[in-house]
Chains A and B, each alone.
Chain A
Amino acid sequence: MSRAVDPTHRTSVSYIDKSREYYAARGYANPYRWAHFENVPFATLQRPLAQGVLTLITTAHRIPSKGEPPSLHSVYSLSRDDPPARLSTDGLFWDRDATHTNDLDSYCPVHRLRELVREGRIGQLAQHLHGVPTEYSQRLTQERDAPEVLRRCREDGADAAILVPL
């Protein structure tokens, strides 16, 4: 049934509330504890983007080549010069009833970024874009995946990163 904006409720969806209530209704007693910090780091760009190197990071999975076992939970990199036609969004949380992920650029905008490089808005794309499939364990994300992404970004000389969680 169609409905309009309800001005008695906040407009944006609270996924924290929704998922807690959804899993509680399924009998899970311990709600997920979402990452929360008081302090937030902040780094200023050292040069304008038109002269800089930008990378792109997605939570989508790489589609394994034929015969290759799927690796759902490890950092991977893809060449900026040969981006895949699509990535896998299976196993991630997104709204399969409302939309689809058939257009890579709607969640991993590598072609849009290449256009912006050609137009001079961005100096260059880093040699690689990176995938960090969402990990339930925040400890693994912080201790294993994030340092690995940092290492790969530095290797490519990235000044800045666009991160897109699905």
Chain B
Amino acid sequence: MSLVARHLEAHGIATVILGSARDIVEHCGVPRFVFTDFPLGNPCGKPYDVAMQRTIISLGLDLLEKAFAPRTTVQTPFVWSEDQSWRDDYMRIEPAGIS
């Protein structure tokens, strides 16, 4: 998706990515990025949380209008849960082998 954003931008269409894989998007290099530190799957906000979804999208709209240089990242203030174990569980390699 970062490659598509770059192509559109190079041809005059302003873009913003809403995403949760910060390293992949920033490694590629994109014009504008709204990062939400959630498990992959809900980069626009938790399911059915309309207020959160509106806030995240609005940050994206603000960035479209106000960013003045490429590689601008904004991180949203939301926390998935106090328990951070989802970070370890995704693609976990069990000591005895592959889960």
Contact = CB atoms under 8 A, between A and B. Distances in A.
Contacts of A13: 21, 23, 87, 90
Interface in A86-116: 89, 93-103, 105-109, 112-113, 115-116
Interface residues of A, number: 79
B54 A115 contact: yes
The range of chain B's interface size is: 35 or more
Which 9 pairs of residues, A with B, have the shortest CB-CB distance? A146-B7, A103-B47, A95-B39, A98-B39, A40-B70, A94-B41, A165-B1, A106-B42, A41-B10
17 contacts: A3-B85, A25-B98, A35-B2, A36-B28, A37-B29, A40-B9, A40-B71, A42-B31, A43-B31, A97-B89, A105-B53, A107-B41, A122-B61, A146-B4, A147-B7, A165-B1, A165-B2
Interface of B: 1-19, 21-25, 27-31, 35, 37-50, 53-54, 57-58, 60-61, 64-65, 69-71, 80, 82-91, 93, 97-98
